[in-house]
Amino acid sequence: MLSPGNPPRLEFDTDDDAQIIDRVAYDFGLSRRTFVQVLGAGLLIAAAAPTLAQQRSPRGNQRQQAKPIPLDARMHIAKDGLITVMTGKIECGQGARAEIAQAAAEELGVSRNVIQVLMGDTDLTPDDGITAGSRTTPTTIPSIRQSCAAARSLLINFASQKWNVPSDRVQFVDGIAKHNDQNFTYANLASESADALKAGAPTDVTVTPTEKWDVLGTPAGRPNARDIVTGKHQYPWDVVRDGMLYGKILRSPTYRGKLKTVDVAAAKAIDGVTPVRDGDFVGVVAPNSYAANLAIEVLEKSAHWDPTPLPSSKKLYEHLRNQAKEIPENPFAETVRGAPKKLRATYHVPYIQHAPLEPRSAVAQWKDGRVTIWTGTQNPFGVRREVAVAFHIPEDRVRVIVPDFGGGFGGKHTGEAAVEAARLAQAAGKPVSLQWTREEEFTWATFRPAAVIDVEASLDDKNNLSSWHFVNINSGPSAIESPYRGKNHSKFVGSDAVLRHGSYRALAATANVFARESFMDELAQVAKRDPLEFRLSHLDDLRLKAVLEAAAKRFTWTERRGKKTENVGVGLACGTDKGGFVAACAEVAIDPAKNTIKVRHIAQAFEAGAIANPANLLSQVQGAIIQGLGPVLRESIELAENKVGNPSFWKYSVPRFADLPTLDVQLLNRLDLPSAGAGESPLIAVAPAIANAVFHATGKRLRELPLRIPEAT
């Protein structure tokens, strides 16, 4: 698996080691003193691979002349044996915390129970980059495993030298080095001096190979699960500081409206309320959120705004096409002209929103010119920069702490709530909690970009693909390349971002796979070939073939496709993105009186290398499929009268218990392949599988999400 890595750097954190504590002043964003306060004295082991912060060139960010961070502490072993693993990644339900604990336990040879995982704190954890792109598993986990494997080697080497026996005669059992009746533990190691340990520092590091996994590869629950079921876990919304006030922001009644006038002083009529104005930024702080809401209602009465024109939902796709940068011509036009069969179609995907159940929030507290912010973000170091830039202060004056928060789905990459809370707290001179309402989240957060997708393809005289031309306007290039054999040209072109664009679980892969897999079905129809056979005959990728065959087999595709029942249809689709391979078969039932679609059954096969945590992987795949039903059946941001017209769970209808189909998830475990992240790719085959099933049931090809069966004319 992983090749031998660099030897670890060792640093000590001892109350009595003046030299190291003196060096705190040279640290940027990392204080050993803080470590001592938080974790107690002990041994710090640096990240085995350079982290993003170390890689970032000082010249790369002119505005914030980042000094090199001398130490990216990856793990800390306290003198009592408690082991803390540190990462700048965050937990918002995707399961990183459990997997990190597993990875550390595996390499250290200890139980998961003696490991705590410290995540997303810009003062304490290394910058592992944004938690996105399914990168924790393929990038951060290997780094953690290397550091932990280094600690294990150090323990064994040191014990061998201490006992003067060759290291291969030192036994290693349950995290303890043993020889005859002598024992040496991680706690013992943490009590040795730095000089003594240097001799034992390993020269290379090898992580546990997959076939010897003991902890990885087994189901692991979330380490703080008990605090979730008791309500004890503090989400960002739940953070309370002494003397804390509640803030609220004055928002434009239309999207991106420009403030003309407002009588800010009027808010003072409410007891205890302080209005805050800084240019176009207007907010209030109050003793509780009730008073803050009242104060904002008062301000709304006196506020006047200039609206900014926003295309309506009806005009959206036309607008995106008109505003698109150069749309490329089909380079295979000649092939198409000469082909016996050819087809072109356009697909549409609307703006949708993540709608995490916990809306954005932040608690900000200033002290001595330094601000600490508790917020739910997938990008703690990015938010630190955002706040620093907003306040024209160096990054080391900002600490961002990310408690495990209530859902991200790619939608919490930015720090608007953090900046707003910090501005209010600065004005109030007290800690302020800013909690966005659902309506604010639906309007002022980011959106998955809408898409207009043009596809054109031709078939040769054997009904095989002879050319493929695919253009995505506005939504992105993820998974845009076709896995199917044949001349192919796929291109993304940007357009006018009508709303704030943001990442969304699987990014544009969902739109691109929806269009591609729907169009493959259309081509199979034209070719008079079975959709499964048509795909398989054009696929070279063995991993993609394997999931497609597995899903079809479990679903009994051939039998069910052949047996046509009125108003019932089956469809399938497959795709690959970010190292995950997925195929889905779906069965739908149509209510012809109401023109509604009921998804009855989904069989999905998924493979993303060696499975690190089967319980969590199952949760991610099940969750992605069901979450994926929303944008297929109902979700769409409505734009009308220059604003978001449906900023409420009553109007924007996400999947509920009643939508739950029979789910049949197969996880293929490829122990011979490195683990890839799996939070995103299981989403991408759902929409086209359902659209294809609707076509099978009704004979109507629906090329726009959400799928709406047109009224019979």
Partner 1 sequence: MAQPFVATLTVNCRRTTLTTPGDRTLLDVLREDLHLTGTKYGCGEGACGACSVLINGKRTFSCSTPISEASGKQIRTIEGLATGDTLHPVQQAFLDEGAFQCGYCTAGIIIGTVALLERKPNPTEDELKEWMNGHLCRCCAYPKIVQAIQHAAELSACANLGRTSDSQTTPQSR
Residues that bind partner 1 (CB under 8 A): 92-95, 221-222, 225-226, 228-235, 237-238, 240, 246, 270-271, 288-291, 294, 354-359, 404-407, 409, 435, 437-438, 615-616, 619-620, 622-627, 648-650, 654-658, 660, 663
Least CB distance to partner 1 at residue 85 (A): 21
User: Which helix (H) or strand (E) is 598 found in, with range?
Assistant: strand 596-607
Q: Regarding beta strands 487-493 and 465-473, do their DSSP bridges make them parallel or antiparallel, or are they unpaired?
A: parallel
Tokens of 650: 């009553």
Hey, what amino acid is at 48?
A: A
- Output 234 or 595, the one with its CB closest to partner 1: 234
Q: CB of 233: closest distance to partner 1 in angstroms?
A: 7
Which of residues 36 and 624 has its CB atom nearest to partner 1 in the complex?
Answer: 624
Based on CB atoms, which residue is closest to partner 1, 505 or 543? Answer: 505
Cβ proximity to partner 1, 437 vs 666, nearer residue: 437
CB of 288 to partner 1, least distance (A): 5
Residue 198 C-beta: closest distance to partner 1, Å:
43
What type of residue sits at position 592?
P
Torsion angle of the four alpha carbons 147, 150, 155, 159, in this order, in degrees rounded to the nearest 10:
-170
- Kindly tell me which of 231 and 710 has the beta carbon lying closer to partner 1: 231
Return the bridge partners of 458, or none: 342, 467
Which of 237, 539, 611, 654 is CA-nearest to residue 412? Answer: 237
Our CB check for partner 1 shows the closer of 129 and 356 to be 356
Nearer to partner 1, 237 or 534 (CB): 237
CA dist., res. 341 & res. 353, Å (int)? 39
- Joined together, the tokens standing for residue 264 give 């800010």
Q: What are the φ and ψ backbone dihedral angles of 587, each rounded to 5 degrees?
A: -120, 130
Torsion of CA 312, 451, 624, 377, to 10 degrees: -70
Q: In the complex, what is the shortest distance from the CB of residue 144 to partner 1, in angstroms, rounded to a whole number?
A: 21
**8 Å CB contact between 403 and 117:** no
Locate all alpha helices (DSSP H) within 211-353, ordered by sequence: 225-230, 289-302, 313-322, 333-338
> Which amino acid, one-letter code, is at 342?
K
Residue with Cβ nearer partner 1 (244 or 457): 244
**Residue found under tokens 């702490």:** 401
Query: Minimum distance between the CB of residue 294 and partner 1, rounded to whole angstroms?
Result: 6
**Helix, strand, or coil here: 567?**
coil
- Of the pair 270, 424, the CB lying nearest partner 1 is at 270
End-to-end CA distance of the chain: 61
Q: How far is the CB of 225 from partner 1 (least distance, A)?
A: 6
Query: Minimum CB separation from partner 1 for residue 573, in Å?
Result: 19
Q: Which are the contacts of 563, defined by CB distance < 8 A and separation ≥ 6?
A: none
Nearest distance from C-beta of residue 615 to partner 1, angstroms: 6
